[in-house]
Chains A and B, each alone.
Chain A
Amino acid sequence: MKLRDIAGSTEHLTCGHRLCTGCAEPIIVRQVLHAAENPVVVANATGCLEVATTIYPYTAWKVPWIHSAFENTAATISGVESAYRALKRKGKIDKKINFIAFAGDGGTYDIGLQSLSGALERGHAFLYVCLDNEAYMNTGIQRSSSTPRGSWTTTTPVGEKLVGKPEYKKDITEIVAAHGIPYVAQTAPSHWMDLMTKVKKALKVEGPTFINVASPCPRGWRSEPEESMRLSRLAVETCYWPLYEIENGVWKINLKPKKKPIEEYLAPQKRFAHLLKPQNKHIVDDLQRRVDERWEVLQWKAEVSQQRSQQKQPPQTPASQT
């Protein structure tokens, strides 16, 4: 995959959409669609991407696209994919088509979790891309279960008693991985080659696949629009957002950066401004401790699962399950 080839290929999400300046979402969507080779059909959850790209009678999508509601992108694409299988079996369609769902963290970590889990368990062949900007940005920056601890949002304001969100961010990538689907990955638009390679890999799989993408949001992160890709890079370099993939149960870290301190990621974002005050140092320390622990666990998982996959004999399946 060469940058020159990508630059010359067809844009499937055109300019003229109304996403904010500096929003990472259209960048991610374009990277995803550039990586897709077959015709694709896209399903979209309610959210920034949906409302800003399809203001009737206009659409910025040059691929078939469907939005039905907030919490059901995975179920909707399940139906599309099921119809595709039925029509293919009946000989009414012969093209190879890939199915991609886009949803934000609200539509994935929270309200859409059940529909996502159901679709993964049923094994529909589609790629689910979570555009994780860590809050409900479309409704005005309310906390989601993806919002990191300590972050300011409009429902986790910084006050006398509470300093931003008290709880930790939910680890959706791990939760999805626990479904045992063939391919799960985490990536970031700053690392476009990593992202696109993962999309290509995911679309080759016959079954459900999931990619979680860090999606900087200047409005909600209270950061400068031109900083988005740098923030994406810093998320990776601080190991706040490690680049890794789980292929058939084998964990692999795609980039092992020389870990930068978490403050470097927090400082340019005003949603974390209060954390830089001395009285809140313990929250930053806690965030750092958590990043370190998780990075360590991730490395351990990669090592163990790779060793296991290299063993010739797979573990015996208990007789009751055969």
Chain B
Amino acid sequence: MALNGAEAIAEAMRQINPDVVASYPITPQTIIVERFSEFVADGLVDTEFVAAESEHSALSASIGAAAAGGRSMTATSSQGFALMWEMLYIAAAMRLPIVMAVANRALSGPINIHCDHSDSMGGRDSGWIQLYSENVQEAYDNTVLAVKIAERQNVRLPVMVCMDGFTTSHAVERVDVLDDDVVKKFVGEYHIDHPLLDVNQPVSYGPLALPEYYFELKMQQIDAMTNAKPVIEQVSRAYGSISGRSYGLVEPYNMEKAERAIVILGSTAGTAKSLLDDLNDPRLGLLKIRAFRPFPAAEIAANLRKCKAVAVLDRAASYGSIGGPVFSEVRAALYDESKRPQIVSYIYGLGGRDTTTDMLKTVYDDLDTIAKTGKPDPVQRFLGLRED
């Protein structure tokens, strides 16, 4: 099927047929809610569609719906994501398996509708699992996977499926879409142990927890995120058996003998793969991070430990830090290695700035110099920044 990323996610949502979808339109997520509204209007799903008056209410309604005992989904971008921010924490703390599509987009100001990751990076510590999609196929696959991961008994956490705004959300690609029955069987029925609608066994969701209990409740969330790592792998393997496409927490590309590697999230991994195919150089590799939360530190260290120089490309700035958010964590993941590669941070692609294979080639060239000199100086660099 030829679909863009937003349509592919909407298609997955149609097959999942959630009980409630609550959302608000925002570019470039809009196509998801539009397509899904059409499925509702045509009776192809029997979902209650809540056209909320804001993203804050969209996520609040998703929380209410999930606590009630319904499978609930939403979608957002950029400012909408930021408006949901307060509720991101509450959804995770209530351990509600909500699935949210995020069409990554830069945050204001200045206002900009194009892709970067500053929206979802702002929610990285909110307790949500974060899966990043390289292309339309992954956006589709991740949506189906997310439902299963979120609802696993020992996880019970919300999941966001991120794809690059416009680059993936609006780009039409050929997608292998599973049969409706296959998806339906894979995701199964939604079940939570203590739904609000079980009026015979009343429960209180969202109470006040004072110092005696708050910390322990937070610990349960930390444990759930730890549990999520093997669950993502298990669910991905199970998905592989029905789709032929299996995904790990990270995806190494040409990493067997790589001395210089780029670490990246999202669609630019595709650009890097294309470059690597053209260069056909076993010394150059790519490590794509698919699951940023939970952070696959061990897998990243295992893939990078033999490299001489590594560049982490962040599509979000972390103001006042020594590099982007992914860089900081990748560098931390390597700290315990006895022999560490030299590592540099590149901030790239902010506000939709195009990132070409030529640009990525310069990164590999820089890494060559760094590997030779042994000095990543400066540690923070900017890729594709206009100099005039």
Question: Which residues of A does B touch, CB under 8 Å?
Answer: 39-41, 43, 50-51, 54-57, 59, 61-69, 71-72, 74-87, 89-90, 93, 95, 97, 114-115, 117-119, 121-122
A55 in contact with B63 (CB, 8 Å): no
- Known pairs A66-B204, A69-B86. 11 more at Cβ < 8 A? A41-B196, A41-B199, A55-B208, A69-B87, A75-B58, A76-B63, A78-B61, A79-B63, A80-B67, A83-B64, A86-B48
Residue of B nearest to A72 (CB): B60
Residue of A nearest to B63 (CB): A68
Q: Mark B271-307, 1 if CB is under 8 A from A, else 0.
A: 0000000000000000000000000000000000000
Q: Which of B63, B198, B204: most chain A Cβ within 10 A?
A: B204
CA A207 to CA B83, docked complex, whole Å: 28
A87 in contact with B69 (CB, 8 Å): yes
A72 in contact with B87 (CB, 8 Å): yes
Q: List 6 A-B contacts (CB under 8 A).
A: A66-B67, A75-B58, A79-B63, A79-B66, A86-B48, A115-B57
B207, chain A: closest CB distance, angstroms: 4
Q: Does B319 contact A (CB under 8 A)?
A: no
Residue of B nearest to A74 (CB): B57
B50 in contact with A78 (CB, 8 Å): yes
Number of A-B contacts (CB under 8 A): 171
> Which residues between 15 and 30 of chain B lie within 8 Å of chain A, taking CB atoms?
19-20, 22
A90, chain B: closest CB distance, angstroms: 6
B90 in contact with A86 (CB, 8 Å): no
A82 in contact with B61 (CB, 8 Å): yes
Residue of B nearest to A43 (CB): B64
Q: Does B206 contact A (CB under 8 A)?
A: yes
Contacts of A55 in B (CB 8 A): 207-210
User: Looking at the complex, which one of A54, A69, A90 makes contact with B207 (CB distance below 8 Å)?
Assistant: A54
User: Looking at the complex, which one of B60, B197, B202 makes contact with A76 (CB distance below 8 Å)?
Assistant: B60
Contacts of B65 in A (CB 8 A): 79-80, 82-83, 86
A79 in contact with B22 (CB, 8 Å): yes
> Which residues between 36 and 74 of chain B lie within 8 Å of chain A, taking CB atoms?
46-48, 50-54, 56-58, 60-70, 72
Q: Which of A61, A65, A121: most chain B Cβ within 10 A?
A: A65
Contacts of A40 in B (CB 8 A): 199
CA A95 to CA B350, docked complex, whole Å: 52
Q: Does B335 contact A (CB under 8 A)?
A: no
CA A120 to CA B172, docked complex, whole Å: 38
Q: What 3 A-B pairs have minimum CB-CB distances, sorted nearest first?
A: A79-B64, A118-B53, A83-B70
**Do A64 and B202 form a contact, CB below 8 Å, given A54-B207, A86-B70?**
yes
Q: Does B205 contact A (CB under 8 A)?
A: yes
A190, chain B: closest CB distance, angstroms: 29
CA A87 to CA B69, docked complex, whole Å: 8
B68 in contact with A84 (CB, 8 Å): yes
B20 in contact with A90 (CB, 8 Å): no
Residue of B nearest to A41 (CB): B196
CA A80 to CA B203, docked complex, whole Å: 14
A118 in contact with B54 (CB, 8 Å): yes
B56 in contact with A115 (CB, 8 Å): yes
CA A41 to CA B201, docked complex, whole Å: 11
A291, chain B: closest CB distance, angstroms: 33
**Do A64 and B70 form a contact, CB below 8 Å, given A75-B52, A75-B57?**
no
A97 in contact with B199 (CB, 8 Å): yes
A85 in contact with B207 (CB, 8 Å): no
A90 in contact with B202 (CB, 8 Å): no
Contacts of B209 in A (CB 8 A): 55-56
